[in-house]
A and B are shown apart, each in its own frame.
Chain A
Amino acid sequence: MTVLTAEPKTKRRSPKTRKPLEPAPGPRVEVIAPPPLLPVSMAAVGSLGQETDLLTDFAVETREHIAGIETSVLVLERDPQNTEAIHSVFRAFHSIKGLAGFLDLDQIQLLTHEVETVLDGVRNGRLAVTSALVDVVLQSVDYLSQALVKLDAVIRGEPAVPFPVTAALLDKIHNLENAPEAAEEPVPLPELAASGSTSERGARTTSRVESTRVKVDTQKLDALVEMVGELVVAQSLLRHDERLKSDINGPIAHKVSQMARITSEVQQITMSMRMVPIGQLFQKTARLARDLSRKAGKTLEFVTSGEDTELDRNIVEELGDPLVHMIRNSIDHGLESPEERAKAGKNPAGQVGLKASHQAGIIVVEVFDDGRGLDTGKIRARAIERGLIKEDAELSQEEIFSLIFVPGFSTASQITDVSGRGVGMDVVKRHIERLRGRIEIRSVLGHGTTFLLKLPLTLAIIDGLIVGVGSERYIVPIVAVKEMFRPQDNSVHSADGSREMVRLRDRVLPVVRLSERFELTPTHTALRDSLLIVIETENRQFCLVVDELIGRQEVVIKSLGEVFGNIPGVAGGAILGDGRVGLILDPAGVFQADARETDSCHA
């Protein structure tokens, strides 16, 4: 009787399964006869908003359970004796069942009930943890994920669609239960005599752990971060007040510096509130690695470390796709087949993994495999074939490796089911660059490849050079800056008197005057009085001309809001140390806007 089902349900909810949601308000509970579709039933009770809230909560909670199940089940596959893992999977299914029952999501309830029964068998030592069982659990999780997507649509107000559990899946579950126990020696689990009480104890522990966390609206969090930023600015204005300078060792200066310490501590704590451990992302990729290795017919050990490393929630979300892609690449192209590995004297089971760590204010995520490694000769030949480099080009190993990021380059000689479908490493690189990160490759032929993703801790803060043009202040993201210099007169050239280029050592770079792009009055017009910043972005270098360098500062990025939309060349605003606003430049945008003007000349 819901979105997710067509068949009316005969089995009634037991009071026990309803328990988890006990405190929810009353009128709904009255709806016992199966109404045709969920939204209708909601409207009938006249509490649509409340229902939507409940469904939203259900979706959030179930997603958390799903993540937990996937992790635990993979642990279980490696270590079938792990009672804690079994209990946690069982509890998660049990909770989902209870919630689904309460919300009349009967197909979800049906499935979770069946899986729960199987898991109960495992708990009691009646059934063994086999890879078939793990498969079924994972498939059930897949069904739940899909069902949640459908549920999201209903929450958004779209019409409900029946989404029954496939009979095939249910059959598989039943087969597990009826499987002849001789098929695999059941692994009796220790300390299971009082399994009921054990699980209850477990459940209580979990709820205690959860109760130390509070879910907070991200908007509130952002507002807090904003205000703390202001506090820091106000604090620094006070600290640099002229009148305080005469009192350098006096009591007021002492109090002010005490306040400064507190403020910076508060700022650090607020910033850390947006951080989440990267572990959950690793868990998702672990699941993927398992599926992929089966498809590719390769045995592998998936290793992760540094799961506790924390980084900005937004980065974790954005990192998902590139990581998935790189793991795919490693398993598909990086690892050899077991036979090849054996021939090369390696362990037939390959190793693929993820490692995260803090390094000097940045996060480094390593994607590694112990496969065949990158073949510089092959890459070079391919690049020449594709016309990406000249035949006689002299390239360092690093430069050759970076060729795999060039659009249109693919080393896979065959297209497989999982990769080689046109989405290449260039997309990965662009993704990482959008997160203001960099990507590096280390590879030894025959021994494996490691991709190093160097990412900022947070997207909320940017490390930038503060530069001045006329009376305006701009922030240039430091990741884009290669170097800075003042040019000699004889190194500046121009064909038409307006478009300039500058010779820097062995290269000729185009010159982009920020004052011209942004229609400002610069303090200096002669290039020799100005400062040239060599910017590298999207595989392109150019010189940005500004009047002066004012300093280097970490600034909190503020959106200019919807009123401005996308302004070419501007990535956002930031509040500088003196409380004024400086615009953060988007170097690629500054350059592109330049290209747009000159384009008409070539047309």
Chain B
Amino acid sequence: MAAVLNGAPVAERAGKYLTFDLGTELYGLPVLQVREVIGIQATAKVPHTPAHVKGVINLRGKVIPIVDLRMKFGLPTAEHTDRTCIIVMQLAGRGTSILVGAVVDRVSEVITLSAIDIEDTPDFGDGTTLPYVLGIAKMRDGVRILIDPDCLFEVGELGHLANVPHGGDQP
């Protein structure tokens, strides 16, 4: 997935996006990878995971991880309001798809973008890339940063100790 990312044919990026706010920025997620939007709820903390992993919740019988996108993107944390919610995204996993919830400030609308609306992420000249940015959508009132949920997390990122050799037998 990552390989296609920045060189992805522009046409493939056209489509519907669900937009949401984090602080003052507006973002977009491909609507096909949004499973549902749910209200904020108490999470059970999972030990040995990075700070942006808030824990796990019960989504109708499934245990799914919840990630704070503000923390993931390095934005200042904010108090939860009644607009704060969780977008449940469907990511491509090994074999099956995985559900991951992302905490965002506010969900706004679904927009339809055509290929000409979307531009590649500019080159910042410092050699850094943002693998999870699919492109930048130019709108009349500003831009939407389009996120590729499949590249949001690196392998094992949600449990960063996952690859540490572990002596005990996990039942």
Contacts and interface: CB of A to CB of B under 8 A. Distances in A.
Task: For chain B, give the interface size range.
Answer: 35 or more
A119 B20 CA distance: 73
A281 interface: no
A227 B59 CA distance: 10
Interface stretch (A300-308, A398-406, A567-575): A567-575
Contacts of A560: 46, 56, 63, 65, 159
Given A565-B162, A567-B162, A580 B44 contact: yes
Contacts of A472: 44-45
A586 B42 contact: no
B39 interface: no
Contacts of B48: 518, 567-569
Nearest to B56: A581
Given A473-B44, A581-B44, A565 B163 contact: yes
A284 B85 CA distance: 54
Nearest to A569: B47
A567 B156 contact: no
A520 B55 CA distance: 13
Interface stretch (B4-12, B93-101, B115-123, B127-135): B93-101
A576 to B, nearest CB: 9
Contacts of B168: 538, 568, 586, 588-589, 591-592
Contacts of B159: 560, 563-567
Contact of A596 (B46, B47, B98, B167): B167
Nearest to B42: A580
B98 A575 contact: no
Nearest to B169: A434
Interface in B140-164: 153, 156, 158-159, 161-164
B158 A436 contact: no
A566 B47 CA distance: 11
Given A558-B63, A562-B93, A567 B169 contact: no
A388 to B, nearest CB: 22
Given A563-B98, A564-B46, A436 B171 contact: yes
A519 interface: yes
Nearest to B95: A562
A536 interface: no
A588 B169 contact: yes
A569 B42 CA distance: 22
A15 interface: no
A582 interface: yes
Contacts of B93: 562-563
Contacts of B166: 566, 568, 589, 592
Contacts of A567: 46-49, 159, 161-162
A561 interface: yes
B56 A571 contact: no
A229 B46 contact: no
A517 interface: yes
Nearest to A558: B63
B61 A563 contact: no
Interface of B: 42-49, 55-58, 60-65, 93-94, 98, 100, 153, 156, 158-159, 161-164, 166-171
Given A564-B49, A564-B158, A582-B44, 9 more contacts: A436-B171, A560-B56, A563-B98, A566-B159, A567-B49, A569-B48, A573-B63, A580-B44, A581-B57
12 contacts: A226-B61, A518-B47, A518-B48, A519-B47, A558-B63, A560-B46, A571-B171, A580-B44, A583-B44, A586-B170, A586-B171, A591-B168
